Amino acid sequence: MIQRVEQRHLVSCVVTVVQRHFPVGRSVHLSSTGDDSRAESVLDAIHRLELWPVQVTGPSTASVSPSKEQKISSYIIFTRTVEDITVQTEMLYARSSWDSRGLFMIVVTVKMTDSEGFALSIICEMWQIGRGYNVVVVVQQDDLLNLYTWFPYSSHDNCADVKNVVLINQWVMEREGKFVRERSLYPYKIPSNFHGCTVILSALWKGGTEDEIYSQYFLTHNITINYVNNFRDDATILERPAIYLQNLGFRESDLFSLSTSTCSRRT
């Protein structure tokens, strides 16, 4: 009986988040580690609302999708362990529909004595593998569902590495259930002050009008910039965007300056 009540509240919590935060009409991807009645209940509830197209993957789903698959706006991932979320995220990241800017809700299907520490491990994996930053982790602890997220560049000691999480809300499992606070679970996370954190810019060269514009922006937002230039001398203007993207993919840079390279090519 207790287990059924807890399951009902978990489903209600997840569906409430979907209704309040997931963009209507945009694709939702639901992933689970196997047969799970909670995932099935959430899927059924979303289908009945008829507001979001839904894709579903499980353990046997192929990891590579068609190249023209549309980007996913929101994700619901049911998971049990950090190892599970690693496998699931790698599988989703390999799909052409992956969007690191999407909304992620990670639903932990087992109780945790250290819900904060577990949420931290989950968010670390999401960031390291796929650079997902709009992540909310739902973890049950006693008679509450704790919802955690993180904020990059919140201090000089907390830049682009996940070092801590924030308890952004809680769901009380009483009667019909409710959130403790009325607030957005997915607030805007790009700060106006980067607290001197370093951002790596992949650019062909340093200097000129574009560099002055970037420098002013970085100064205004308190960003320490580190330039990366690993271009071959004979790289063509068509090859350079691919090199930029490769830098991003291998975490060798955070941003790239395409206009700078184009301007340099013309001079």
Q: Residue 167's beta-bridge partner residues?
A: 148
Indicate if the pLDDT at residue 102 is higher than 70.
yes
Indicate if the pLDDT at residue 257 is higher than 80.
no
Q: What is the pLDDT of residue 34?
A: 79
Tokens of 22: 């997931």
Q: What is the pLDDT of residue 65?
A: 45
CA distance 247 to 125: 20
**Residue 56: pLDDT band with limits 50, 70, 90:** very high
Indicate if the pLDDT at residue 2 is higher than 70.
no
* Domain assignments of the chain as residue spans, ordered by start: 2-179, 198-266
Q: What is the pLDDT of residue 59?
A: 61
What integer best gives the mean pLDDT of the chain? 84
Q: How large is the average pLDDT for residues 192-215? A: 74
Cβ-based neighbours of 121, under 8 Å, separated by 6 or more: 82
**Residue 24: pLDDT band with limits 50, 70, 90:** very high
Its CATH class, for the domain covering 2-179, is alpha beta
- Which of 189 and 12 is assigned the larger pLDDT? 12
Q: How large is the average pLDDT for residues 163-188? A: 94
Q: pLDDT digit string (tens) for 116-129?
A: 999 999 999 999 99
Q: What is the pLDDT of residue 205?
A: 59
pTM here is 0.82
**Residue 62: pLDDT band with limits 50, 70, 90:** very low
Residue (of 196, 120, 113) closest to 163 by Cα position: 120
| Strand 178-179 versus strand 166-172 pairing type | antiparallel
| Strand 74-79 versus strand 103-108 pairing type | parallel
